[in-house]
A and B are shown apart, each in its own frame.
Chain A
């Protein structure tokens, strides 16, 4: 009888989805020992039932019988005493239990070595990976329930920095291995093999896995656009089996942190003091304290509320060997934590694939429609305004046009804006639609050794913004503006055609895989805008039809278009599973560079050595040990469509006399017409280790990357008269080095399984060259100098506070010149860095670095029976950040509010770091002093999640396979000494890393979710 290779046969049956029950019956029928019946359920790490797991009874090392789990992951068979039960399934770790100790519900862990990793135009076994790739798997995503793709990766991988903008419906910024480029350090997003974008409105619930390709060799196949790394997203596909329905619903309550500001009473006290001091000092124009308004407004309470984010999702999937399908629908509704903001999104996804003989086809469609009610201003504005707006001003004031309170020269002399008035008088809404379609055909030729694929993907986007500006004022000194309505649209089409050829061949111990292909990618976007003054009103109601408005009408329109053609090839070769080699080459042509400079070639090579497979290697506790190294070059041309062309501005008009208007044309934006490809060369050395029965994993990397001919829209001198933004230039070279370490442990003790994954990384950058042959470049707060990191803090250094007139008089330079002769006790003492006896621009100095010394992330999860718990955190350490909120408050030099517990210097109580307060005199509150810098280190537990799955036996009765409840707390615990709202903020550009200009803080939330499968 040939039945002795039983395990294999059952496993094959599982793969082929043959009638497992029949097999089970057959086998149980042929043996007749006295035995116990064992029943149980097998699930994966998400608690999803695993059908088709082979459950084999071993006696004396031989398989004697076995069954396969059914569609609900359940099995039942008789086990003789003294036998062992072995559970195995492709891609999962095999587990064995002695009869009598078999857990009723068993979780099979993914076999991390067999797991496949998507590397672009193909996959590779995780164990054979030669580059630096981090993976976020489905189970990590499922439990997190984040709003968008990028946030779902937060803290899960090393070397990846993610900053969320905090606003409903808006994306997050992502950076891989720091700043390697000056132009958009956002990585390339590949969704199911097509170029996507993090903005795609992709439903996180549809994602199966995310791979982050960090080094040149991994990303090389994507060549020109991959210089900042690649994020490959694979969405869920149908699996063979009967219809499976999954669904979930969640509700998230969230809120935004608030400044701890003074109330009106306290504010008046300090404000009066600042005015009295000003009068004493004879500050011009100050003759009396303010006759304060009698409001007591907490502007934050007026604008902030508890947000509610609801998310509903349902997916249907299934199929057989010939055809598979996956259909999902999603609805999200977000009532923002900031009043007047909100977001609503509805979308669906359909994908199917089929195969007959050598021909395979598939398609993937998704559609998303969203509507955002947004703030009509930059995000930083609202937060700085909470500080700038005195609490004495009432929200409403009937005496003003429109009825909102705001500044008054004698009562609250400020140009701050009433946020309630602004938002109520000025509405803006943004609707967006994405349609994304991808169709492919695949021919498997010659026994699957050779295949070719033609892939066409198309994305269509339509966005519209409409605004209504009603009549009324929100700030002091505002003119009598007409009401207006505005409507603008942006739409784009993106087409990608790709043809690839795949070759897989194994001869003896030689495994060869080769890919070659070309792609053509084109993008066209149109913008239109119109606005009209004086919309028709009926009573209080504004008619928002442009046709019915009566005032001046304006219209604008433009388009951009670009294309990229690429030829590429990759060869993977391995010998005896020990020696691995990967070669990649690519040739790209872009329309964004001038003719003659459009084409460039990029190549990379990787080698790997699996020591653990060497005959001499004999360390029993190590399962797998691999050394790898790679070197390669990538390119970037991620600049504007026509940055190399000098164009004319035809907008200038001038009045010749009366209302006689003439048309002008001028060259106003200067350009560099000799732009070339930016190139980034990376060397990467790493080691991967799996040990202790695959319970322990470790991977360590060192990398050095050097970017040359960096493309940058570098600000140029104002004397050039340039207008229209900084021209793009090949602006120098930058070097990044870093170490990344990822460690993981996962194990189980009986029913209790747990895993701990941590990562730490360092990143250092250095400027090698700057554009236009300069050696140094400054902003108002930072310096970027060749040989040094970008954007170092360059500020006036403060040396505390003058406590007495004697101290002022004795603060002299080497020649005895009094350095701050006009200072008084209570004023800031500035460091006379150049020793010339006065405080002037040459006294600015490097006072610290905005770059974290260390980045870290930690992810712990555990499960016991139906309960699961996970906690996730990340942090950045050892950097200085600029607290823009404090600088905005500015010590009562203007009438801005300040923070509770504020303690300025007084003669009576001089023990403070805060200077005396004086209105209308900015000597102590200048923005470019180091008093606003703070240690920005933080550790944040971003996610704490607790879940419970109802016992299978219970829900089976109602026809369900799985029901899970969960509670997730986000950003609830943060350890930091930073006194700003949030140590994790969106910075304001590469030269201002660490500049927190009253950035929108990250929300904190508690989320309740339920998910089910049947």
Chain B
């Protein structure tokens, strides 16, 4: 019996030893990473948190790849003949799978990630416990975050219209309801007005960060899109005639806006900075856990001619024809055509450039079976052979676009073009050697300069040629509105519009997965 007692005593002793310190053995910290309770405490934290918002530029669904296909493909300047049928249909108003990853889900998901990251900054930036050496830096960070959020919302509304409006860091169980483009606009208007107060006029370094000019430019776009013409005019006035005048001017050589030789130039209000400093292997773009993930853009491989890159998006032929309707003052073709498109007649249209090479091959050697197809040259570099990424900054807001927008806005305010409106159009034209409107050998300059409707129609052409394939045209078309007449017109230029249904295709369907799993989110009309 004594033996029993000893044994049981052993058992009890052993058990009690473990129970008393058991908790200690199962309290294991994650040493792989910081946890959130240690963050958002210092100025440095706010800085790094903000950088994470900039990081969202480098995603397939944002400015690395898909948004170019989608915005250019839907508009009448671009078209997709990609061998990937689903991708190609997605730019043709033929939507079958509403969760389609490439043209839809990635763009949606990554834009919301960007918004969520900006919201993190904005949720903490006003915390008085975070001490800044210089209070102005706090405001600068806040201004940047407000601008970045507004930037992402701008493109999301352009694509889907009735998205939720989220202004705070998300929780896992969130099920937000739809908002409207108007409600989002109102919020973003306030945000951008606030940001203008915080952002500096210019930056001498780190020009990825927006300035006052970038905020005025984005706000002008918002206003114009909502037909708030006089508000838009105030912003554009600041850029063109006000303080901005000392900062921005047209780059003498038009093509310098699209190459990697003259980035952050005087014409640029905002550009997305790309670099090949992280030069790693195949498709590292979306590896959000990889500090070495690519920081370049795939715009080049995405739009390069068939047989070379992916050829996910290319140009419609009318762009070439429209360019060729008018000659420069010295009787040559519009030089913008040469730097915008690769097409069969480029050699004869621009003899001064000779038989130019397209990624190492001449048109006749490599592309002669492409008929009258038009490939996009804008933003191409002279890299050879083609790599997945290139480092050519994307000029998101540039002065020429603002000048044409200003002209359009003035025409709307005054119900006809005033002298300033005409002057700004001419400024854009003469930079590339075209005659002024009045001296145009093709257009009826006098009528355009005096008639509201004629000017408005003409602006549509000027904008198409000046900003082709810059992800601007689709948003322009939305601003100008769709009706039976415009649709007929569009169908002449782009057969994709044969599939366009009024009241439905002005916006994409929301991803089905989101509508299915969120009872508060309604699918866009008629989908």
Contacts and interface: CB of A to CB of B under 8 A. Distances in A.
Given A718-B109, A719-B164, A480 B386 contact: yes
A721 B51 contact: no
Contacts of A776: 516-517
Interface in A558-586: 558-559, 561-565, 567
Contacts of A484: 281
B345 interface: no
Interface string B383-419: 0011111000000000000000000000000000000
A721 B113 contact: yes
A374 B130 CA distance: 52
A646 interface: yes
Interface in B33-49: 33-36, 39, 45, 48-49
Interface string A632-659: 0000000001100111111111111111
Kindly name the residue among B33, B49, B169, B311 whose own CB sees the greatest number of chain A CB atoms within 10 A.
B33
Contacts of A671: 172
B55 interface: yes
Interface string B492-503: 000110100000
Interface in A815-874: 838, 840-841
A282 B495 contact: yes
Contact of B171 (A480, A655, A659, A670): A670
A692 B160 CA distance: 74
B352 interface: no
B468 to A, nearest CB: 19
Contacts of A410: 306-307, 369
Contact of A656 (B33, B273, B516): B273
Interface stretch (B218-226, B286-294, B333-341): B286-294
Q: Kindly state the interface size class of chain A when it binds its partner.
A: 35 or more
A558 B295 contact: no
Interface string B76-116: 00011101111011001010111100000100110011111
B206 A721 contact: no
A652 B170 contact: no
B25 A653 contact: no
Nearest to B288: A723
B290 A717 contact: no
Contact of B172 (A482, A551, A772, A923): A772
Contacts of B200: none
A938 B55 CA distance: 51
Nearest to A454: B14
Interface string A714-743: 011111111110010100000000000000
Contacts of B79: 284-285
A664 B164 contact: no
A779 B97 CA distance: 12
A523 to B, nearest CB: 10
A414 B79 CA distance: 18
A253 to B, nearest CB: 37
Contact of A598 (B26, B99, B282, B514): B26
A541 interface: no
Main secondary structure of the interface of A (DSSP, over half): loop
Contacts of B19: 567
A479 B387 contact: yes
Contacts of A720: 112, 116, 170-172, 174
A642 B81 contact: no
B208 A656 contact: yes
Given A520-B18, A668-B288, A414 B83 contact: yes
B242 interface: no
B436 interface: no
Contacts of B14: 499, 518
Nearest to B278: A653
A667 B169 contact: yes
B167 interface: no
Contact of B36 (A551, A558, A667, A729): A667
A788 interface: no
A410 B115 CA distance: 41
Interface string A753-791: 000000000000000000011101111100000000000
B32 interface: yes
Which of under 10, 10 to 19, 20 to 34, or 35 or more describes the interface residues of B? 35 or more
A481 B7 CA distance: 69
A666 interface: yes
Given A652-B55, A656-B205, A926-B97, A409 B291 contact: no
Contacts of A920: 85, 88-89
A672 interface: yes
Interface in B482-527: 495-496, 498, 509, 511-519, 521, 523, 526-527
A556 B98 CA distance: 36
B329 interface: no
Contact of A652 (B51, B171, B275): B51
Given A410-B369, A667-B169, A718-B109, A446 B4 contact: yes
Nearest to B498: A282
B496 to A, nearest CB: 6
Nearest to A588: B26
B133 interface: no
Interface in B293-324: 293, 295, 301, 306-311
Interface in A517-551: 518, 520, 522, 531, 533, 551
Given A646-B36, A774-B519, A652 B120 contact: no
Contacts of A895: 83
Given A407-B83, A649-B33, A719 B55 contact: no
B28 A641 contact: yes
Given A655-B208, A718-B511, A477 B279 contact: no
Given A518-B18, A655-B275, A894 B84 contact: yes
A828 B372 CA distance: 34
Given A654-B51, A665-B52, A724 B289 contact: yes
B49 A552 contact: no
A655 B513 contact: no
A445 interface: yes
A306 interface: no
Interface string A781-818: 00000000000000000000000000000000000000
21 contacts: A284-B92, A452-B7, A477-B309, A484-B281, A518-B18, A589-B23, A647-B33, A652-B55, A652-B288, A654-B57, A661-B278, A664-B49, A664-B54, A665-B34, A666-B52, A667-B36, A720-B116, A772-B172, A778-B513, A921-B89, A921-B94
Given A552-B278, A894-B85, 9 more contacts: A410-B307, A479-B301, A554-B292, A647-B32, A654-B295, A657-B207, A660-B205, A718-B513, A723-B113
Pairs of residues from A and B, 9 with the lowest C-beta to C-beta distance, nearest first: A721-B116, A285-B81, A664-B51, A664-B52, A666-B52, A654-B54, A652-B55, A479-B388, A413-B83
Interface of A: 282, 284-285, 287, 401, 407-410, 413-415, 445-446, 450, 452, 469, 476-477, 479-482, 484, 499, 501, 516, 518, 520, 522, 531, 533, 551-552, 554, 556, 558-559, 561-565, 567, 589-591, 595, 598, 641-642, 645-668, 670-672, 715-724, 727, 729, 772-774, 776-780, 838, 840-841, 893-895, 919-923, 926-928
